Amino acid sequence: MYPRILPAIMFAALSQPAIAQMQSAEVTLTRIDCGRASEPMPLAAFDDTGASDAMARALVVSCYLVRHGDDLLIWDTGIDPATSGDPDGGFTMTATLVDELAALGIAPADVDYVGISHYHYDHTGQARDFPQVTLLIGAQDWEVIENGAPFIDRSLFAPWLDGGGSVRKISGDLDLFGDGTVRLLAMPGHTNGHHALLVRLAGTGPVMLTGDLAHYTENYEKEGVPTFNDDRADTLASFDRFKRMAANYHATVVIQHEPADVGLLPAFPEAAR
């Protein structure tokens, strides 16, 4: 009884003007270069079955700008420019995220949200350059940051740890704008609070950004679990869910660290629509 009645009641509660407003927001997706591997990286640790022991790949670091009407979301923030070229980090960058956005006429103060797929350094390096935003992050990942794990650079999160910035700690999925066009998807395993992103575009169709569910094409196809993941079983369950969703939605899957997937979206500064 209730599963059928409740959706109807909820739908009826929305006025027609509200529905029209939800549907009228234009959504675009822009891929931004936020770093590249200085040289091919050994991939043995990215699959605990040994499938990648002999492999090396020059991975990329990607950030994304999502426009939803007048709202702006940055998805992942790349490496810290101060670490560019550091052999321990393994990535270099030629322009900061702030500079790349400036080329689009966007200042840090224009950004409303920064969404973080997970707390690793190559996804959070420039978050603090947007101190006024609402930070979107998995609740379990934020707990790790708050507790000050030794591998976390807490200075990257100073605007929110100091109490001045707003943090939205996400448990499960989040339909950010309430219209289904931008959804943070809980995909735990790489970290316990790890999320992927689904963006529905009017022309291109659904696009699913993996976060670090997978790091390169073979990793995605063979469902390789890195030795440094938080939970193996959760990773495999997330692979299953992600792939089923991608198939059901006929989505374009973009593996964020895969160089070949850069071409699945228009070249900067153009946006997918």
Measure Cα distances from 161 to 78, 154, 204 in Å.
20, 8, 38
How many domains does the chain contain in total?
1
How far is it, in rounded angstroms, from Cα 206 to Cα 204?
A: 7
14 domain residue, yes or no? no
64 domain residue, yes or no? yes
271 domain residue, yes or no? no
232 domain residue, yes or no? yes
51 domain residue, yes or no? yes
Q: Specify the pLDDT at position 87.
A: 82
Write out the residue range of the structural domain in which residue 248 sits.
Answer: 25-264
How far is it, in rounded angstroms, from Cα 59 to Cα 123?
A: 13
State the pTM of this model: 0.91
Q: Specify the pLDDT at position 38.
A: 87
Q: What is the CATH number of the domain that holds 240?
A: 3.60.15.10
Low-confidence ranges of the chain (pLDDT < 50): 1-22
180: left (phi over 0), alpha (psi -120 to 50) or beta: left
Q: Specify the pLDDT at position 7.
A: 39
Q: Specify the pLDDT at position 164.
A: 81
99 domain residue, yes or no? yes
Q: Specify the pLDDT at position 126.
A: 98
Strand runs labelled E in 158-194: 166-170, 174-175, 182-186
Condensed to tens digits (0 to 9), the pLDDT of residues 191-217 reads 999 999 999 999 999 999 999 999 999
Q: Specify the pLDDT at position 241.
A: 98
Condensed to tens digits (0 to 9), the pLDDT of residues 67-120 reads 999 999 999 999 999 999 988 788 999 999 999 999 999 999 999 999 999 999
Beta bridge partners of 71: 68
259 domain residue, yes or no? yes
Nearest to 66 by CA among 29, 97, 116, 93: 29
Q: Specify the pLDDT at position 250.
A: 98
183 domain residue, yes or no? yes
